[in-house]
Amino acid sequence: MELIGKIFENKYQILDVLGKGGMSTVYLAKDIKLQKLWAIKEVSVSTINSKSNLMAETNILKKLDHPALPRIVDIITIDDSIYLVLDYIDGISLDIQLQEVGMFEEKTVIDWAKQICDVLDYLHCIKPNPIIYRDMKPGNLMLTSLGKIKLIDFGIAREYKEEVSTDTTCIGTKGYAASEQYGSHQTDARTDIYSLGVTLYHLATGKGPNDPPYEIKPAREMNPLLSEGFEYIISKCTKQDPILRYQNVKEVIFDLENIHKLNSSYRELVRKKMLKVYIILFSFVLSSVFIFSGNCGIQRENIKEYNSIIKTGEELKADKKYDEAITTFDIAVEKNTNRPEAYIDIANSYLEDTSLEENQRLEKGISYLIDNVILKKISVAKDERILSLMGNTFFKEKNYKEAYKYYGMIENPKDKSVIFYKDTAQTLGYDQKSSKEIITIISNLENYIKTMPDTDMRIRSYMDLTDIYTSNQDIYPNSFDKVIKLLEQANSLGKATGNAAGDYKLYVRLGKAYNDKAGNLKEGTAKYIASMKKSLEYYNLALNNGFNKVDGYYSIGNAYEKIGSYVNSEKTFEKMINMFPNDYVGYTQLGLLYYNIEVHSPTTKKTYTKVNVYYKLALKRYDRSINDDQFGLLEDHIKELKAQKSIK
């Protein structure tokens, strides 16, 4: 069907052809009413059973929600063709960019690599079945005018299922596809990691796998300006044996963020520092042998001093002086490396440090124990308290496989909660049981939590339990009321006992729970407004109890806007700007608020001056390396308004 220049489905004006392939044509279209640009992909029904399965692409894209992925907003069937209406990505593919510039600087490629890893990690972590992309290459990566990477063309992506041992098709782009895509094994996350490595090699060297010398050589042979660290990352990604590659994208991200540590100069510096430390320690030990040998009284004195240091550190931690507390606990570790208390206190100091974001707290707490206890295999690595803390922390992070591993290392646990958490972690981490069995196991955990004598532990466990319900919507659909009930129980428990009363983390969860519930109700109804008002109540309580963060004001301002209280929304965002004047988010939200007010205003003459003012204020503070869809939305509105000459 020839579409250029026509009005399609009385809604889309077809402007141009964006691209053509053997099985499809992609058009540039404009929504007549909204004046918004879309991409429309036309595919003949006769090609649907081909290698690039359109329906598979459609089914996959429909359930994805990530700023680096296009959305499907409409599916239209006419005669023997199917039309997908997708987000139009205003950018240029990296293969075309390569043709123009030859190769890119390492710094640029690393920035793109982090963005690509972020979206791959999102795909690989989807439950119950991760998405394996299987066609990573420069031609499927779009670079927007904002410097953001977008991943396109899900024609051969597939869902990974552990019970399936092989793939049904042997497909991929020659040179970029891993060997297992052409063999008898099932593709998994490591398949995408291989293609990522080849793609990074192509971008950084200008040499594709199908260019002479037709192989992936050491990257610095092709481009001597590259660092050793980057060459190492590419090499590890592109190992033929999947076991020798990075096993997940998080490992790639870690090395990208610590790439300087992979260079020989850094390793040599560390070696020299460690040598000095060893010499000092040796001298200290040697002198200690002569001076303190056989002195048991000194040992008792050391234990007393150790306990005194621990007490001082715990007092500092209670006063929320986390850095000072960690320094103090470090002294205790130096005094006695074979006692678990100081290690546990340091990990908990990181986990409780509210100056850090939650993901940073978890990462620092886990990393400390892994680096200083687990990997060193010291005697306390088998201590139940340390293993239980590791398991609980991974459980909170929803990394159930790792949680199960550490729970499983505890022999005959004294803490009976370990048994219930271990069973739940195994069930959620390995997906071995039916939905009915999963519900029973999680119900057993919930019943056990009710019996916990420690009130604080019970409250924290209720919050962990709500994470299980909200992240397993396939088993617990519409679990909002159940989540709210558990959180309200935790809140009542805290109020009744004085424990955890006024805990902003609990209030934040309650605010979000009521907001999520409202999101599944019809806007404007009495139930919707009531749920949003409860959300506002708890978010405001969170702010009053220490949640003085951008996220808090953001949630409150948006909640007010959703119930039509524009004045309160405006006041909230203005307060947000006053509290965080150097953060772009408050200016962005005010710009979006003023845009929505004007769009919904009954007057015919609309003024978008404030929208433009706050966009410019946000732009001054916005870091282009951040992938923020809200700022992107405001920028899209500004472009539309300029195109309509509503603003200059």
Three-state SS annotation for 128-151: CCCEECCCCCHHHEEEECCCCEEE
Confidence band for 549, pLDDT divided at 50, 70 and 90: confident
CA distance 508 to 537: 10
CA separation for the pair 639, 648 (Å, rounded): 10
- 378 occurs within a structural domain: yes
pLDDT at 21: 66
Quote the tokens at residue 19.
């691209």
Q: Which of 155, 209, 188, 160 is nearest to 26 (CA)?
A: 155
Assess whether 80 and 96 both reside in one domain.
no
Residues 227 and 124 in one domain: yes
The whole-number pLDDT of residue 158 equals 56
Domain assignment present for 507: no
Judged against a pLDDT cut of 50, whether residue 160 lies above it is answered with no
Q: What is the mean pLDDT of the chain?
A: 82
Domain that holds residue 230: 91-262
Looking at residue 294, what DSSP letter applies?
T
* pLDDT of 152: 83
**CATH (domain of 74):** 3.30.200.20
Q: Note whether 170 and 187 are within 8 A (CB).
A: no
Q: In CATH, what number is assigned to the domain containing residue 377?
A: 1.25.40
Higher pLDDT: 64 or 598? It is: 598
* 252 contacts 193 by C-beta, under 8 angstroms: yes
Q: Which residue has the tokens 């399965």?
A: 53
Unique residue bearing structure tokens 């510039």: 101
Secondary element (H or E) of residue 177: none
Token readout for 648 is 């200059």
CA-to-CA distance for 341 and 319, rounded, in angstroms?
A: 19
Residue 515 predicted with pLDDT over 60: yes
Same-domain check for residues 105 and 65:
no
What is the predicted pLDDT for the residue at 184?
Answer: 46
Same domain, 98 and 22: no
| Residue at 195 is within a domain | yes
Whether pLDDT at 202 is above 70: yes
- Of 350, 382, 414, at which residue does a domain stop? 382
| 584 vs 614: CA distance, rounded Å | 9
pLDDT at position 186 is: 66
Residue 387 belongs to a domain: no
Residue 263 in this model has a pLDDT that exceeds 50: yes
Indicate the pLDDT class of residue 52, thresholds 50, 70 and 90: very low
**Are 317 and 341 spatial neighbours (Cβ–Cβ below 8 Å)?**
no
Residue 643 lies in a domain: no
User: What integer is the mean pLDDT of 166-183?
Assistant: 67
Burial-class residue 441 by CB neighbours within 10 Å (0-12, 13-18, 19+): middle
- Beta bridge pairs of residue 158: 132
250 and 120 both lie in a single domain: yes
Higher pLDDT: 423 or 514? It is 514
Closest to 237 in 3D by CA, of 253, 258, 213: 253
Task: Flag the least confident range among 242-256, 428-442, 535-549, 564-578.
Answer: 428-442
Last residue of a domain, one of 351, 382, 413: 382
Judged against a pLDDT cut of 90, whether residue 333 lies above it is answered with no
Using CA atoms, how far residue 632 sits from 357, 572, 627, in Å, is 23, 21, 8
* Overall average pLDDT of the 625-645 stretch: 86
Query: In this structure, are 97 and 83 located in the same domain?
Result: no
Does residue 192 sit in the same domain as residue 309? no
User: What pLDDT sits at residue 432?
Assistant: 62
Find the CATH number of the domain harbouring 184: 1.10.510.10
The verdict on 44 and 60 lying in the same domain is yes
Q: Which two tokens stand for residue 505?
A: 């983390």
More confident residue, 549 or 288: 549
Known binding residues for ATP are 41
| Final residue belonging to a domain, choices 328, 348, 382 | 382
The reply to whether 330 falls in a domain is yes
103 and 74 co-located in one domain: no
In a domain? residue 533: no
Average pLDDT over residues 53-60: 58
Rounded distance between C-alpha atoms, residue 522 and residue 352, angstroms: 38
Q: N- to C-terminal Cα distance for the chain?
A: 39
CA separation for the pair 418, 432 (Å, rounded):
20
pLDDT band of residue 275 (cuts 50, 70, 90) is low
pLDDT in tens, 413-433: 888 888 888 888 887 777 666
Domain count of the chain? 3
The pLDDT of residue 266? 66
Same domain for 65 and 154, yes or no, is no
CA 395/CA 350 separation, integer angstroms = 17
Is it the case that residue 300 has pLDDT exceeding 80? no
Q: Which of 287-291, 292-296, 517-521 has the lowest mean pLDDT?
A: 292-296
